[in-house]
Structure 1
Amino acid sequence: MIEGHLYIFPLLVCALIPFAYLISFIVAVHLGHSKFEYLFFSHSLIDSPESCIYSQIINFTSFILIITIYIRYRQIAELIRNHPTCGKKYSQLNLTFLVCGLIAAFSMSIISNFPHTNVFLVRICATYITFIMSVGTLYCEMLLSFCIRPLLYSIIIFQTITIVKYDNEQKLWTSTSLGWKYHLSSTLSAWILTSCLLIYILTLIIDFRRIKIISPKIYLTNDIIDDQMNQRLSLSI
């Protein structure tokens, strides 16, 4: 059996990530955990039940992202195999792409499952790993060093300033909060890089329309076949 429609996987990733944040934010505003005017700067996802909704959607998205990355890896590996002129460095670069992508997807799941105030260190480390590995994925896949590197540096700089100078348990940021400008710069940088990553994943839809997967064949060992035959003989007797 040949399986098509693989473009659904990157499409789901790009749709579910904004949907997870939006639906969680709507629930947070409805319950009074956040304010509507701070849509993109909310830290309300640490409260229940919106945090639970967000975590479930992101966990599922991480799983879909892993499938997407693996399909892309196998596609590139097949192209390399069909072109003998491609050197070993291309295979190594493709393997690096796979490793960075899988780590980024797993770290994204960690971010959604660890609350900001309870385990802040784990969450912020997972955030750094997610973005750094995502940029590493883009480096290997698209070689956009000059386009992506400034965005990555802006995230590290602004988030580090915010953590060191304004590390507190404040949930709701407003324009009058201490460190608001740093928090605003950090959040905008994160959203810019996230948007770049989602745009990149969207570009995979074009290639995934041209890919088909044949379902793997499963072969039974002789031991299993012999056991089944013996059971049938014993039942017939």
Structure 2
Amino acid sequence: MLLTWESVTFFFLSIAGDTPPESCIFSQVLNITAFLVIAVAVLRYAQLKAKVKKPWLNIFGLIAPSLSSFGMTLVANFQLSNDRIIHNMGAVITIACGTASCWIHAVLTFQGNINNEGRKLGIFRVILSVIITLGFITYFFLLAQQTYLPGARVQWTSITCLLLYVVTFAMDFRHYDFEVHGTEKQANPTGNVSNIISEYRSEHL
């Protein structure tokens, strides 16, 4: 028996969060996730700013997850049944920029080599990046073949790995203290209102 789109739509993430009350929870979770991803990207950029050999790679490491977060907000706030074009555009941005972010930060992990853990953590992130990349490629291939149920399973697996990738940054951040300092403009002639400062805390002291 061939599976049709109508018979398996509830398996897909976008469909599962398409109607109230699920859509409300879906939007709230994705919006919070988008904010946290941007926060992680900014902290990661500050952490590696003085460590990486190629500053432009670190800049891309900030831009790519930020764009992915923007895509998440489109997916969250424009449900599939309300605006299919914007929703799908957001999904493509999220997937493309999210996958690119994984590979960029895998390379940055080796270059930064924080607390001499770069090789071990970098290999793990490369493995996750391979799984995520192959997963999304397989997902679109299965959709093109109208094999919806396996496609939905691959979609959930890929997204889970993508979220797991974000969680791995806790391994890097545990070695640092981050502080945000704010000063009045009048007292700061350079015009910098706030600075993000990361201070390395050695585990060997």
**TM-score normalised according to structure 1 size:** 0.60
Match for residue 196 of structure 1? 161
User: Do the aligned partners of 1:97 and 1:141 also contact (CA within 8 Å) in 2?
Assistant: yes
Whether 1:75 aligns to 2:47 is yes
**Counterpart AA for 2:29:** I
* Cα distance in structure 1, aligned partners of 2:136 and 2:25: 28
Q: Choose 184-193 or 66-75, whichever is displaced more.
A: 184-193
Match for residue 88 of structure 2? 124
**Counterpart AA for 2:40:** T
Give the alignment of 1:78-157 within 5 angstroms: 78-80=50-52, 86=53, 90-143=54-107, 144=126, 146-157=130-141
Aligned-pair CA distance for 1:114: 0.9
% identical aligned pairs = 24
Give the alignment of 1:201-220 within 5 angstroms: 201-220=166-185
* Cα distance in structure 2, aligned partners of 1:147 and 1:61: 21
Aligned-pair CA distance for 1:157: 2.2
Whether 1:57 aligns to 2:29 is yes
Structure 1, residues 21-62: CA drift from partner, whole Å, max 9, x if none? Answer: xxxxxxxxxxxxxxxxx9754624221222122212221221
**TM-score normalised according to structure 2 size:** 0.68
User: Do the aligned partners of 2:17 and 2:25 also contact (CA within 8 Å) in 1?
Assistant: no
**Counterpart AA for 1:203:** T
Greater Rg, structure 1 or structure 2? 1
**Counterpart AA for 2:135:** L
Give the alignment of 1:9-88 within 5 angstroms: 40-41=11-12, 43-80=15-52, 86=53
* Cα distance in structure 1, aligned partners of 2:96 and 2:49: 23
* Cα distance in structure 2, aligned partners of 1:60 and 1:149: 24
**Counterpart AA for 1:128:** V
User: Do the aligned partners of 2:12 and 2:155 also contact (CA within 8 Å) in 1?
Assistant: no
Aligned-pair CA distance for 1:217: 3.5
Aligned-pair CA distance for 1:147: 4.6
* Cα distance in structure 2, aligned partners of 1:213 and 1:187: 39
Aligned residues: 159
Q: Does 1 or 2 have the higher relative contact order (CA < 8 Å, sep 6+)?
A: 1
Unaligned residue ranges in structure 2 (runs of 5+): 1-8, 108-125, 188-205
User: Do the aligned partners of 1:132 and 1:152 also contact (CA within 8 Å) in 2?
Assistant: no
SS of match in other structure, 1:103: helix
The 1:102–1:55 alpha-carbon spacing in structure 2 relative to 1, beyond 3 Å, is same
Match for residue 3 of structure 2? none
4+ residue runs over 3 A deviation = 38-42, 143-149
* Cα distance in structure 2, aligned partners of 1:158 and 1:53: 28
